[in-house]
């Protein structure tokens, strides 16, 4: 897997970093971009994953965008691919961005990989076996700051949600910008850079690997009501990630009080 991730990065992704032509960046939807590198990387990743486990269905972000019936595969054992997570950053010629891969069974990721294309950092998690960065097992760390450090994405919240979050949650935290890249945000919650984060949009390719990684590191990621994140619940929204269960509980309590 590591060889595949590095090969795709070196042969498809990095040659187009900061060299994309205007017609190689496509607007898929509101605040949603795709580049030629995303599409080519997904094809190459899918070919490599098929060679690793022949016959296992694949759910790629770009394939699902072209054919929504691809999402039906999330109900079975499958691979999930985000060929370039942080496409806005990549298209703008700035970091961070990375590759997200997950293996899923029964709607839950059991193995995940998060690869930082610029630094080569590789995060791996196995259900029940812990989380690792570059081969070393890691435990989630908090920042130790008072108030805790929060990266809260309001991009996909409706106006009322944004107002509520800014008025009733933000004052309890030191706010920092989100990286617009789950492949960076989840490691930040493990590495003691951020304490908590709120995600409104929770698509499988953005979160399957990261949720597993943070939970296996001893942090906590769950829906607002405490239920587990499932990749086959594509219509659900809202997810809290935290560097510790205590930090998760504090933010969830505040969030639940808004309803």
Every domain of the chain and the residues it spans:
2-137, 149-256
CB atoms within 10 A of CB 96: 21
Mean pLDDT value across residues 147-174:
86
| CA 10 distance to own-chain centroid | 21
Q: Is 84 annotated as a binding residue?
A: yes
Q: How far apart are CA 162 and CA 169, in angstroms?
A: 10
- How far are the Cα atoms of 4, 89, 117, 119, 189 from residue 97, in angstroms, in the given order? 17, 7, 7, 10, 16
- pLDDT range class, residue 259, cuts 50, 70, 90: low
Mean pLDDT value across residues 71-90:
97
Strands 78-85 and 58-60: parallel
- With a CB cutoff of 8 Å and minimum separation 6, the contacts of 234 are 71, 74, 203, 204
Q: Is 177 annotated as a binding residue?
A: no
- How far are the Cα atoms of 35, 63, 170, 200 from residue 28, in angstroms, in the given order? 10, 13, 31, 19
- pLDDT range class, residue 256, cuts 50, 70, 90: confident
The β-bridge partners of 240 are 198, 222
> Which residue's structure tokens are 């990684």?
213
CB atoms within 10 A of CB 176: 16
Q: Do domains 2-137 and 149-256 have the same CATH topology?
A: no
Strands 174-176 and 220-222: unpaired
| CA 212 distance to own-chain centroid | 10
How is domain 149-256 classified at the architecture level of CATH? 3-Layer(aba) Sandwich (3.40)
Q: Average the pLDDT over each of 11-25, 50-64, 115-129, 151-165 and give the range with the smallest value.
A: 151-165
pLDDT at res. 157: 74
- From the options 3.30.540.10, 3.40.190.10, 3.30.43.10, 3.40.50.300, give the CATH code of 2-137: 3.30.540.10
Indicate the pTM of the whole model.
Answer: 0.95
Residue 113 has which token pair? Answer: 């990989």
Q: Is 116 annotated as a binding residue?
A: no
Q: Is 65 annotated as a binding residue?
A: no
The β-bridge partners of 100 are 82, 114
């Amino acid at each position: 897997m590591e060889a595949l991730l590095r090969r795709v990065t070196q042969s498809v992704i990095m040659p187009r970093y900061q060299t994309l032509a205007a017609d190689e960046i496509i607007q898929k939807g509101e605040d949603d971009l795709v580049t030629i590198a995303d599409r080519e990387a997904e094809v190459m990743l899918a070919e490599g994953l098929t060679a690793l486990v022949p016959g296992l269905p694949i759910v790629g972000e770009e394939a699902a965008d072209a054919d929504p019936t691809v999402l039906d595969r999330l109900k079975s054992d499958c691979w999930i691919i985000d060929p370039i997570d942080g496409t806005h950053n990549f298209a703008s010629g700035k970091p961070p961005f990375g590759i997200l891969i997950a293996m899923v069974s029964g709607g839950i990721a059991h193995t995940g990989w998060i690869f930082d294309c610029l630094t080569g950092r590789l995060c791996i998690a196995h259900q029940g076996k812990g989380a690792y960065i570059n081969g070393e097992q890691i435990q989630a760390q908090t920042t130790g700051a008072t108030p805790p450090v929060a990266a809260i994405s309001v991009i996909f919240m409706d106006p009322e949600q944004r107002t509520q979050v800014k008025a009733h949650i933000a004052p309890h935290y030191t706010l920092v910008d989100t990286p617009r890249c789950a492949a960076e945000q989840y490691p930040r919650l493990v590495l003691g850079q951020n304490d908590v984060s709120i995600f409104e949009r929770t698509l499988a390719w953005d979160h399957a690997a990261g949720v597993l990684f943070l939970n296996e590191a001893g942090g906590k990621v769950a829906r607002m009501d405490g239920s587990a994140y499932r990749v086959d619940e594509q219509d659900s929204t809202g997810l809290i990630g935290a560097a510790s269960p205590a930090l998760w509980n504090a933010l969830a309590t505040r969030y639940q009080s808004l309803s």
